[in-house]
Amino acid sequence: MTMIELKEIMDALGISLLVIGIIAVIVIVAYAKSARTKKVRDFENRTEPILISSEKTPSRVNSPPKNTGASRDLDWLKNELMENEDDVMHLSMGYQIKIPKGHKYDFFSAIKITRESRRSIKVVAILTKVLPSYLDVRPANTYYGTTKNSFSVTDLNRNFKFYSTAPDMWREIFANHDIKDLLQYNATHIQHFYLREEYMEALVSYDQAIISILTLTKMIHKKMKKLFGVLDSYEIEKLVCFNCKDPFDPMEEVCDKCGSARPRCIVCLLDLHPSDLDQEVVTTPCCGVYAHKKHMISWLKQNPQCPNCHKNLRHWLGQMRMT
């Protein structure tokens, strides 16, 4: 065998070994990937879901219903609240549901749920009964701090701030263990809870907390009725558009007739009724939203920008102080 023939054999052998090596690497990588996928699947099949022990929840309060649907689209809430599809109005970010008599939630005549942001769901409801005093509940770390209407509630002050013109009445209501436990159980999810006469509004970070809020409202009315007897004869002060003076639909954010903004203080977020005009109410010169004058002054002292459109209102602050 000549040297040339030997060299040709060696070259051919080298190419063959290279091809075999490449194939071997591909096979090894594919096998490793398959083995890893199988291992992950086996682990997932062996892993049980983590359950919260019922011993950790208040014994007097039923836990919120388990959400078997996607919380993002609120479909399970709609199905929980509606009785007939014809009673549902589909909104861009949620639903408005008419509640008929005989329904398990017929303490409310209408309930509106909308997703305000990724972590906030808003519920607005019209009550069929009347509450004779307003209640405003906020997390303890909120900016809107102490006012003459603020009061404390034993065992709940660590999580919430409370506001009302009738603090003694509300302290007695919150002395009820079921009411206190339900509020405490949802403390990490409630961003705002507001009651006034026949209107309820809440902002929560967890969809199942909506059911707790509705239940809480019914429990409050039941306790209030037990303490004070008949409440239905209480005179309701209706919400009115400050621009055209027409009745304002409490489920909406703009006037149906003239398109004006809801009469609501942009700082404290409470609705402004005609009786509130006895206090000083101002309209921002930049975007025309309403506010209690004293609340707006307090806001602009801390931050000179409008709480709604963020325009600088330092000069307007000076004018309000002089008038």
The rounded distance, in Å, linking the Cα atoms of 18 and 60 is: 74
Residues 93 and 124 in one domain: yes
- 49 is a domain residue: no
Q: What is the pLDDT, as a whole number, of residue 8?
A: 59
Q: What is the rounded average pLDDT for all residues in the chain?
A: 79
CA gap 276, 271 in Å, rounded: 9
Residue 305 lies in a domain: yes
Same domain, 260 and 322: yes
DSSP type of residue 186: T
CATH number of the CATH domain containing 255: 3.30.40.10
Residue range 250-259: mean pLDDT, rounded: 84
Asked if the structure places residue 20 within a domain, the reply is: no
Look at 52 and 183; give whichever has higher pLDDT.
Answer: 183
Mean pLDDT of 297-316: 90
Contacts of residue 313, defined as CB under 8 A and 6 or more positions apart, other chains included, come to 284, 285, 286, 300, 304, 305, 306
Considering its fold, how many domains does the chain have in total?
A: 2
Tokens coding 3: 């040297």
154 and 213 housed in the same domain: yes
Which tokens is 321 given? 């102080």
Residue-wise burial string across 206-245, b where 16 or more C-beta atoms lie within 10 A, e elsewhere: bbbbbbbbbbbbebbbbbbeeeeeeeeeeeeeebbbbbee
C-alpha span between 201 and 199 (Å, rounded): 7
**Structural domain harbouring 247:** 237-323
pLDDT over 90 at 18, yes or no: no
Higher pLDDT, 30 or 271: 271
Residue 106 falls inside a structural domain = yes
Is 310 a domain residue? Answer: yes
pLDDT per position as a tens digit, 85-143: 889 999 988 999 999 988 889 999 999 999 998 889 999 999 988 887 889 999 998 76
Report the sign of the C-alpha dihedral through residues 7, 10, 16, 17, in that order. Answer: negative
Whether the Cβ atoms of residue 266 and residue 246 lie closer than 8 Å to each other: no
Do 220 and 268 lie in one domain? The reply is no
Q: What is the pLDDT of residues 50-70, one digit of tens each?
A: 333 333 333 334 444 444 433
Q: Tell me, yes or no, whether 53 lies in a domain.
A: no
Task: Compute φ and ψ for 158, nearest 5 degrees.
Answer: -65, -30
Helix (H, G, I), strand (E, B) or coil at 37: helix
pLDDT at 4 over 80: no
Q: Please tell me the predicted confidence (pLDDT) of residue 47.
A: 36
Mean pLDDT over 185-189 rounds to 94
User: Tens digit of pLDDT for each residue in 214-243?
Assistant: 999 999 988 988 887 655 545 567 788 888
